[in-house]
Amino acid sequence: QVQLVESGGGLVQPGGSLRLSCAASGSIFSINTMGWFRQAPGQERELVATSTTGGRTNYANPVKGRFTISRDNAKNTVYLQMNSLKPEDTAVYYCNAQIRSRAYTSWVDYWGQGTQVTVSS
């Protein structure tokens, strides 16, 4: 079994910062891409940022220049530093990782349980 456990969400004022963490644990042989998605009420889940094992990153246009994704491969952990937060960033943020539990098996998508981020004065 594989688990992704997120932490770091909360309530913050506009212009503030938060740092999300997501640690993968369990039966892990290797991890490919890790990333963050978010889902606001009444909207579909959308990509926020991704990071490959080699360090290549990709960001959604609304968060470019404000959010930074990073990862610690030794700890199987991905982070999302969110600066200059806006009310429209309010959503449940989900961690995602592509994981192999054994060699020569297919990559499987795993999701965290989600952490609420609320940006409000």
Over the chain (121 residues), the average pLDDT of each successive run of 10 is 95 98 96 97 97 94 98 96 98 98 92 97 95
**Per-residue confidence (pLDDT) for residue 76, from 0 to 100:** 96
**One-letter amino acid for residue 11 of the chain:** L
**Per-residue confidence (pLDDT) for residue 23, from 0 to 100:** 97
**Per-residue confidence (pLDDT) for residue 99, from 0 to 100:** 97
**Per-residue confidence (pLDDT) for residue 67, from 0 to 100:** 98
Provide the 8-state DSSP code for 75: G
Q: Which two tokens stand for residue 38?
A: 């978010």
End-to-end, the C-alpha distance of the chain in Å comes to: 40
Would you say 61 and 48 are in contact if contact means Cβ atoms under 8 Å apart? no
Burial 67-106 (b: 16+ CB within 10 A, else e): bbbebeeeebbbbbebeebeeebbbbbbbbbbbbeeeeee
**Per-residue confidence (pLDDT) for residue 54, from 0 to 100:** 87
